[in-house]
Chains A and B, each alone.
Chain A
Amino acid sequence: MIGPPAWADQWMIGAAELIALIVILTGLLQIGFYLIQLIFAAIALSFRPPVPRGATLWRRYSDQAPPISILAPAFNEELTVVESVRSLLSLQYPDFEILLINDGSKDGTLARLIDAFGLAPVARYVDNAVPHAAIRGFYANPALPRLLVIDKDNGGKADALNAGINASRTPLFCAIDADSILEPDALLRVVRPFIDEPNLTIAAGGTIRIANGCTIDSGRVIDVRLPRNFLALVQIMEYLRAFLMARLALGKMQVLTVISGAFGLFSRQRVVEVGGYSHATVGEDMELVIKLHRHMRDIGTPYRIEFIAEPVCWTECPEDLAVLGRQRSRWQRGALECFSKHKDMFFNPRYGRIGFIGFGQILLVDVVGPVVEVLGYLLVPLLYGLGLLALPWLLAFLSVTVTFGVFVSVATLILEEVQLRRFPRARAIPVLAAIAVVENLGYRQLSNLWRMQGWWQFLRKQQAWGTMTRKGFGVPPSS
């Protein structure tokens, strides 16, 4: 430590010291929380319920597996929608119905579906339990009794899902993104908590993995490979941390506050009781889970919301900065909207561990996290300029931050490798480890700036989703 220069006022030094203390404390809290998550994730994976082998899994669970409606909202997805529906139709599950909801697409999504599957207008008696924009019509083909297309006015993803909920006739519904790929036995695996604890389980989520770089044939991932695009590689590491560490651990603690909109199974009745998906947020998937927690705690009924590592849903991630930036600022905005809307649950004993751990985690990671980190970026040169920070200290703090990030990533890779082993080639391990180091040098800072953009949009009450450009799974991976 070197002494402050003569021009630095006392208040400047005091303020800088206070900010430094907040940054360091928040960092320490985050480190502590990540360590706890790692421990819980390891416990969850080590003690996950044993699963019968393939043939037995089908025979045993197919008898008792409850019927499921798969809700797949689609907006301007004419390039991929037919392939996606074919992939969904080939899922291995005894009793399911696909409700593809065309959310007022302006392209040829509906026409492609009608042509490809020989659909014709049909009647459907639907519930009006949750609100949504007007339905224009239903389309089906008696030869494909598992497929129903709902054509409706545009209202956004939450609105489309609500239309699907009203049209579904099963005790469970599975919300997915129309352009995602479910593994053939994903439904059979994710339904397990609903079979094992039918009176308690109200929702379950599975792992989302990134399909960029993988070989996909007829709507199936047949060869898992790493992509060559740097942004996609970084996102693979991020998704591993998010699902194999954070969500698995939070699920084990029973404080899961989000089930990805790309793949989640819900009790229809419980979702109807909370009014379905909310329209006034871009974090509708997170908000639904929080509403379910609130509702179940309010009515005093025991319940469980589970996360299961094995059922996998593959999705395409953005490969360019602009699209990724929009996605990340939207996610940030969604988290802030949920926190703000349900802030009365925060540290409220009435909501037990959800109020303390679940909301504590949102506060630490989503609300305060990016602000403090960006503050740190600004503070370092300031402290240095004020003469309050010597270079050895700066480098030491930086080193701990980076190496701890790498430690968390490597620990997640260990969990992946020991328990799941989804990367068939050994080369993936050092590549992802290298990414865990490199991501700290530029990407992490950029990601925090996108999140600050989300903060700004939240403060300005911006509601737009932004455009998500996808290549589509039909396109072979770049070589």
Chain B
Amino acid sequence: MTATLQSLWEVSLLLCVFALLAIAGLLLARVVGERKANKRESLRRQLLPQLLRGEPVPVERSRVARRMAADLTIELAELVQGNDREGFLAAASLAGADAELVRRLRSNAAQDRLVAAETLAMFPPYASAVSAVALSDRNADVRLGAALALAQEGRAPPVGKLVRSLGIGSKEQSLLVVSLMRDLARTNPHAVEALLYDLEVPDTAKLAATDALAESSSVDHEALVAWMAEASEEDSDLRPRIFRALGQLGHPSGHVAILAGLDSERWQVRSAAAEAVGRSALHSAIPRIVQLLADDQWWVRFRAAEALTRLGAEGRLALQRAAADPNWIVREAASTILAEQAAA
């Protein structure tokens, strides 16, 4: 029993020692950190004006200076545009920022690797180093971040290879993939279009490609719409997104698919198709859209009423007639949306 009692006191003592040491350690780290921060601040004040003016930095090539130059590049490079950026990046290179960022690409911390890759993507000579990160970093967020940064600069690896390495549509479900595809479509629209016809590419990736291509004028939208119309017939969770993309595109060859979507059994699809009617100015759908004002689902009624407000005088007239409909559900939807529009 005495041994147990002694153990209890020893546990307490151990916990106390841990707590005291931890607090002392935290305070010490603070003091050391603050001293370093003061030094860094003075170095920062020295480096910043030269970097912003794109002038060579008159500091010794010390590691601290390289780190500060890298930190300033991370902080400011994206905010500097055009010729000023070129000057800024050249001065940062002379100060050793790029070498420091390359070193950080090998850091154990994913945060450091991501930020280093994003910044290095702005330095043309390092495109291949950042591509390697995009294709093979062990952290999915770092891979995607590097790919996004490269695509924004127009220096991304081949589209197909990137889609497979990132696992877009399989492992990678992020909505940021749409941004990636948009940037990729800016520089290589046909490579993005080719994804639609690649049987191995998952539907989610294809849909992201579709969203991106809808904004591009470099590809034949008719072929794109044909793919979307075909995909819209499949029973998939992606259907609402396909209809939204069809609405955004507004191409006449998508109208048949949109009309079919209005009769879907799934309210999410009816709602997205109703929205697409308004966006693509599909006037022939007005009678069916008016019927949807009596739908069981509020979202469908709301999107239908909203679509009518987008269909010009013809749509407004239909909405005004619906505001006097004997069915109070129709009447409420139409009259309230009309009142909202009047006040806006």
Q: Which positions in A face B, CB cutoff 8 Å?
A: 1, 47, 49-53, 55-56, 59-61, 63-64, 66, 122-125, 127-129, 140, 142, 169, 195-200, 392-393, 396-397, 399-400, 402-404, 406-407, 410-411, 413-414, 417, 426, 429-430, 433, 436
Q: Closest Cβ of chain A: how far from B247's Cβ, in Å?
A: 16
In Å, the complex CA distance between A50 and B78 comes to 18
A124 touches B340 (CB 8 A): yes
What chain B residues lie within 8 Å of A47 (beta carbons)?
110
A410 touches B298 (CB 8 A): no
In Å, the complex CA distance between A46 and B78 comes to 27
A60 touches B179 (CB 8 A): yes
Q: Which of A52, A55, A128, A403 contacts B15 (CB 8 A)?
A: A403
A406 touches B15 (CB 8 A): yes
Interface locus among B111-119, B192-200, B251-259: B111-119
| With known contacts A50-B114, A50-B141, A433–B344 Cβ distance under 8 A | no
B1-59 at interface with A (beta carbon < 8 Å): 1, 5, 8-9, 11-12, 15-16, 18-19, 22-23, 26-27, 29-31, 34
Q: Does B142 sit at the interface, judged by CB under 8 A?
A: yes
What chain A residues lie within 8 Å of B302 (beta carbons)?
125, 127, 169
Q: Which of B19, B139, B173 contacts A403 (CB 8 A)?
A: B19
B8 touches A396 (CB 8 A): yes
Q: Closest Cβ of chain A: how far from B316's Cβ, in Å?
A: 16
For the A-B complex with A122-B339, A397-B8, A406-B16 known, give 11 more contacts whose Cβ atoms are closer than 8 Å. A51-B111, A52-B145, A60-B179, A63-B179, A127-B299, A196-B175, A199-B237, A399-B9, A399-B12, A403-B12, A414-B22
In Å, the complex CA distance between A51 and B113 comes to 11
Shortest Cβ distance from B11 into A: residue? A400
What chain A residues lie within 8 Å of B5 (beta carbons)?
392-393, 396
B174 touches A195 (CB 8 A): yes
| A-B residue pairs, 9 tightest by C-beta | A123-B339, A403-B15, A396-B8, A125-B336, A50-B114, A127-B298, A426-B30, A399-B12, A64-B175
What chain A residues lie within 8 Å of B31 (beta carbons)?
426
Shortest Cβ distance from B303 into A: residue? A169
Q: Which of A53, A66, A199 contacts B173 (CB 8 A)?
A: A199
In Å, the complex CA distance between A61 and B12 comes to 48
Q: Which of B26, B78, B237, B298 contacts A129 (CB 8 A)?
A: B298
What chain B residues lie within 8 Å of A430 (beta carbons)?
23, 27
B74 touches A410 (CB 8 A): no
What chain A residues lie within 8 Å of B111 (beta carbons)?
50-51
Q: Closest Cβ of chain A: how far from B149's Cβ, in Å?
A: 8
Q: Does B333 sit at the interface, judged by CB under 8 A?
A: yes
Shortest Cβ distance from B78 into A: residue? A55
What chain B residues lie within 8 Å of A55 (beta carbons)?
78-79
Q: Closest Cβ of chain B: how far from A194's Cβ, in Å?
A: 8
A60 touches B176 (CB 8 A): yes
Q: Closest Cβ of chain A: how far from B275's Cβ, in Å?
A: 12
| With known contacts A64-B176, A400-B11, A426-B34, A410–B19 Cβ distance under 8 A | yes
| With known contacts A125-B302, A429-B26, A396–B336 Cβ distance under 8 A | no
A407 touches B19 (CB 8 A): yes
A50 touches B19 (CB 8 A): no
Q: Which of B18, B78, B139, B179 contacts A407 (CB 8 A)?
A: B18
What chain B residues lie within 8 Å of A140 (beta carbons)?
343
A142 touches B344 (CB 8 A): yes
Q: Closest Cβ of chain A: how far from B123's Cβ, in Å?
A: 16
A50 touches B145 (CB 8 A): yes
Q: Does B209 sit at the interface, judged by CB under 8 A?
A: no
In Å, the complex CA distance between A75 and B81 comes to 48
B9 touches A396 (CB 8 A): yes
| With known contacts A128-B298, A403-B15, A50–B113 Cβ distance under 8 A | yes
Shortest Cβ distance from A54 into B: residue? B75
B142 touches A50 (CB 8 A): yes
Q: List 25 A-B contacts (CB under 8 A).
A: A47-B110, A50-B113, A50-B142, A50-B145, A51-B111, A52-B115, A52-B118, A55-B79, A56-B78, A61-B176, A63-B182, A64-B179, A123-B343, A128-B298, A129-B298, A196-B141, A196-B174, A197-B173, A396-B5, A397-B8, A400-B8, A400-B11, A404-B15, A406-B16, A426-B31
A406 touches B298 (CB 8 A): no
In Å, the complex CA distance between A407 and B20 comes to 9
B343 touches A142 (CB 8 A): yes
In Å, the complex CA distance between A406 and B21 comes to 13
What chain A residues lie within 8 Å of B237 (beta carbons)?
199
Q: Which of A124, A399, A426 contacts B336 (CB 8 A)?
A: A124
In Å, the complex CA distance between A199 and B175 comes to 10
In Å, the complex CA distance between A47 and B115 comes to 16
What chain B residues lie within 8 Å of A402 (beta carbons)?
12
Shortest Cβ distance from A433 into B: residue? B23
In Å, the complex CA distance between A261 and B225 comes to 44
In Å, the complex CA distance between A36 and B5 comes to 25
Q: Does B305 sit at the interface, judged by CB under 8 A?
A: yes
In Å, the complex CA distance between A172 and B276 comes to 21
In Å, the complex CA distance between A50 and B142 comes to 7
Q: Closest Cβ of chain B: how far from A64's Cβ, in Å?
A: 4
What chain B residues lie within 8 Å of A59 (beta carbons)?
78
What chain B residues lie within 8 Å of A414 (beta carbons)?
22, 26
What chain B residues lie within 8 Å of A400 (beta carbons)?
8, 11-12, 15
Q: Does B178 sit at the interface, judged by CB under 8 A?
A: yes
Q: Closest Cβ of chain A: how far from B267's Cβ, in Å?
A: 11
Shortest Cβ distance from A123 into B: residue? B339
B23 touches A429 (CB 8 A): yes
A195 touches B175 (CB 8 A): yes
In Å, the complex CA distance between A451 and B114 comes to 46
B23 touches A123 (CB 8 A): no
